[in-house]
Amino acid sequence: MENLSIETLVLEVEGALLRSYSTFAYFMLVAIEGGGFLRGFLLLLLYPIICFMGYEFGLRVMVMVCFFGVKKNSFRVGRTVLPKFFLEDMGFEEFELLSKAKRRVGVTKMPRVMVESFLRDYLGVELVFGRELQEFGGFYTGLTKDDNGRMEKENMVFKDLVFGKENINGGVMGLNSSSTHGRHLVFSHCKEIYYVGEVEKRNRKPVPREKYPKPLIFHDGRLAIRPDPVNAIAIFMWLPFGILLSVLRLTIAVTLLFYCTIPLAFTGIKWKVRGDAPSSQNLQNSINHPNTKPAAGQLYICNHKTLLDPNVISLALNRKASSVSYGLSQFSAMISPIKINWLTRNLEEDRKRMERILSRGEDLVVCAEGTTCREPYLLRFSPLFTELTDKIVPVAIDLHVSMFYATTVSGRKWMDPFYFLMNPYTCYELEFLEKVDTSRVRTGDCSRFDMANHVQKQIGKALGFECTMLRRKDKYMMLA
């Protein structure tokens, strides 16, 4: 590869770029995230039959199951869910080769809507050739358009791209696509074609996260594991037990969370607490001086993993703290063991509401990012908390789930607690950091933005996360 000089590179996604042999996992993601678990279960039932079909016919069956009746304008899986799994499945050698080319062309046998966002947004691919889906009344029919006519049109587009240029055009494909029938027409223009054999494909290394051309910060979807056939069977076998387990865990959490946490731990929910959690000043004052006015409550500032973050911090403190929220569902607020206070997104009004909570002597937990982030990145911290009190306690939070994500952008948010509690096992990690003096903001010695960035860096350093200046708006612009 060191001596290759390729101006235009044509890369086959399934045969060359991805390490896995089968595309079943990606269609299962489309079925579950785009159509629901019943559609995914139907695809799983048909999988043994699909294995005995020819590649082309089996692919068409999966396309039909996954896309039939799906509304075109609301289909976001290709942009919000699949890129994460594509990036984790890339082969490092082919990725390096792709980065050497000035022009990149992607060829796939999957529907173009599944792979185009990944190739364009994360790999800088200029043209993406794939199956086009038929639609009727704004809904996908599950059928693909005529392949021969499509390939001829794509061939003309490709020739227009490289016409008149005396450049070396290279192509990379899998051995199973080397036949004339399995080869796309654009490969006929490549002066050199390289084939990825089965041994090479089996031994390829994944691309390290730090090598990604574009950081993977935001993604959506409920599945935290790749739903290959074995994992898909495990998911659907676990689902009935997971639903019952979530109800049991929720009952324990609501009734016994702050009195006895041992039953919850035995169900598979673990937590690790580091650092010294501050003791309750008001509790100590009420013991020593029963008639004294309660002191101001303690303000805890944390990053945001799930809507359960304030509950877990309260659990670590062994006392109920209050939390604030903008858009928590009424159901989630109803089942919360701690008090939820609603904010308005009016900065002055929200500041007054939080000051009143602290003045009553209640401890307050604020998720300064304003929205959740699954990956090891911290979004920009809202500086409002720097004006509330002179001392704040930063709390670094990390979360490990085994099967389901407990956050969503385009799904049903009221289901978030259940998806968290349906995981076979989860682990929350908390670290209470040293108190930060924010009084300099009030005296004018430090701007509120600099103080918020300082707290963000402290939490990022404790977690090993990268700090960004991205906001809630950036997340929803990309995913929703």
- Tell me how far apart the alpha carbons of residues 80 and 377 are, in angstroms, rounded to a whole number: 17
Q: Would you give the DSSP letter of residue 397? A: E
| pTM, to two decimals | 0.90
The count of other CB atoms within 10 Å of the CB of residue 389 is 19
Residue 465: count other Cβ atoms within 10 Å of its Cβ: 18
| ∠ Cα 228 229 232 (to 5°) | 80
Got the DSSP string for 289-322? -TTSPPPPPPEEEE--SSTTHHHHHHHHHTS--E
CA 16, chain centre distance (Å): 25
Distance in angstroms (rounded) separating the CA atoms of residues 355 and 332:
24
DSSP-derived 3-state class of residue 462: helix
CB within 8 A of 480, min separation 6: which ones? Answer: 76, 409, 410
Where residue 464 falls (left for φ over 0; alpha for ψ -120 to 50; beta otherwise) is left
Per-residue pLDDT of the chain (480 residues; tens, 9 = 90+): 555 566 788 888 988 899 988 999 999 999 999 999 999 999 999 999 999 988 889 999 999 999 999 999 989 999 999 999 999 999 998 888 888 888 888 899 999 999 999 999 999 998 898 899 999 999 999 998 876 666 777 767 776 666 555 455 677 766 565 554 456 777 777 777 888 877 777 788 999 999 999 999 999 999 999 999 999 999 999 999 999 999 998 888 777 665 566 777 788 888 899 988 776 655 455 445 555 555 678 999 999 999 989 989 988 888 888 998 887 778 888 888 888 888 888 888 989 999 999 999 889 999 999 899 999 999 999 999 998 999 999 999 999 999 999 999 988 888 999 999 999 999 999 999 999 999 888 888 889 999 999 999 999 999 999 999 999 999 999 887
Query: What is each CA distance from 365 to 5, 260, 339, 379, 406, in whole angstroms?
Result: 56, 22, 11, 17, 19
Residues in the chain: 480
Of the candidates 41, 22, 45, the residue with the CA atom closest to the CA atom of residue 32: 41
Among 357, 358, 318, residue whose Cα is nearest residue 337: 318
Dihedral sign computed on CA atoms, order 241, 411, 29, 103? negative
Domains and CATH numbers, the chain: 8-211 (3.40.50), 239-479 (no CATH)
C-alpha–C-alpha distance, residues 51 and 61, integer Å: 11
Distance, CA of 195 to chain centre: 33
Q: Which two tokens stand for residue 405?
A: 């994500």
CA separation for the pair 320, 312 (Å, rounded): 10
